[in-house]
Amino acid sequence: MKLEVLFVLGTLALLGLPACGDDPAETTPGGADQTSGGEDTGGGEGQSGPGAEGGGGSGGGTASTNDGPVSAADSPWGSPLADTGAPLPGRKAMNPSASDSNQQGIQAARSGNLDAAKRAFEKAFGADPNSYEAAYNLGVVEDRLGNELRAIDYYQRSLKLQPDYERAARGIVTIHARRGDVAKAIAFIQPIAKYWVRNLHLQAIYADALVYAGRYDEAIKAAREALRRDERFVPAMISIVKASLRQGRNELALSVLEQAMKIDKENAELLYLRGQMYLEENGRLREALDAFQKAVQLEPDYAEARMALGAQQLVGANYGEALKNFKVAAELVPTLYQVHLNLADAYRANKEWEKAKVSFEKAMGMKSPLPEAHFNL
């Protein structure tokens, strides 16, 4: 049984639910995403820069978690650059009427009712056409419904309203990468990251895209630039871990990962990566399983972690739990063939032959030729 492991540059979450690698909006230092019901933080409209024409943004909340200036002697990443680059545009709060509908949409999505969530977010966007948050949430829902082009359109609308919005930028990069068009992903994110250099989440997204393209040294350089602004910025550390693992520099990857976990031990992506590293070490399968399980508990929408957890559960003959995780992953990323291939394996392990056949056929229809699916059939 061949199992596929996902890499889709992090799973996207609805605004109001933290995405993998993001800071929760309620607790983010600096408050770049603390806009629900808050005050206007500055000029949200008419901003210049690449994002104003349909680009800009990354995974999570604030652009930086900088706790204060760091001297060059103290920082392992080089001289600090915290005060250089174009100032970030302010972020305008969603109006109260739209916020109510937005929360209804989040609750509907949590319960699995994406159609109701979409209607609620459309109502929110109608009540506040300037809400980059509502546009972003519509993009997430369209993506989960399998409508990638519509998702990109909503992410672009979000970016026109908030040109440095990291979550919307990650959404576009993720879809391009998922479709195998890494060059398009990099062409999109590079100018945005270069312009909004103070948004550290954008730098981490750019670094992740470079990792996916196999440009590991460039990815590490981009991540280090972010760390020169904030040496405790975990998403940039994660990018270095990914690049180092791809280069086979496992000791460096582990060293950086351990530094990051000292800063944020509850980071789902760090736990997922630690689990993947455990899998490479003899006799540590139980620890890998525990790491994947905790990652899913911390971030239920983290598709990669669910797939990794399901894979280990299949190996351990825990077929029922594996099937549950693969089903959720298929709901989160319905356009990724690996999801349906692994779901088919789970159905087969549970002796649900017809459902297994349907999932295999769906996987083959998404990527042809697909030798793994033919082999499993």
281 HSE (CA, 13 A, CB side)? 14
136 HSE (CA, 13 A, CB side)? 33
Task: State the pLDDT at residue 35.
Answer: 38
Query: Domain-by-domain residue ranges, the chain?
Result: 1-65+94-198
Quick one: which of 143, 196, 147 has its CA closest to 174?
A: 143
How many C-beta atoms surround the C-beta of residue 344 within 10 A? Answer: 26
Do the beta carbons of residue 161 and residue 152 sit within 8 Å?
A: no
Q: What is the pLDDT of residues 102-137, one digit of tens each?
A: 999 999 999 999 999 999 999 999 999 999 999 999
Cα distance between residue 74 and residue 65, in whole Å:
17
CA angle 226, 229, 232 (to 5 degrees): 80
Q: What is the pLDDT of residues 11-37, one digit of tens each?
A: 556 655 434 434 433 333 233 443 333
The separation between CA 250 and the C-alpha centre of its own chain, rounded to angstroms, equals: 23
Q: What is the pLDDT of residues 297-312, one digit of tens each?
A: 999 999 999 999 999 9
Phi (first) and psi of residue 87, to 5 degrees: -60, 145
Residue 83 vs residues 87, 166, 190, 225, 229: alpha-carbon distances, Å: 9, 20, 21, 13, 8
Q: What is the pLDDT of residues 25-68, one digit of tens each?
A: 333 323 344 333 333 333 333 344 565 443 333 333 333 333 33
Output DSSP code: residue 336.
Answer: -
Superfamily of structural domain 1-65+94-198: Tetratricopeptide repeat domain (1.25.40.10)
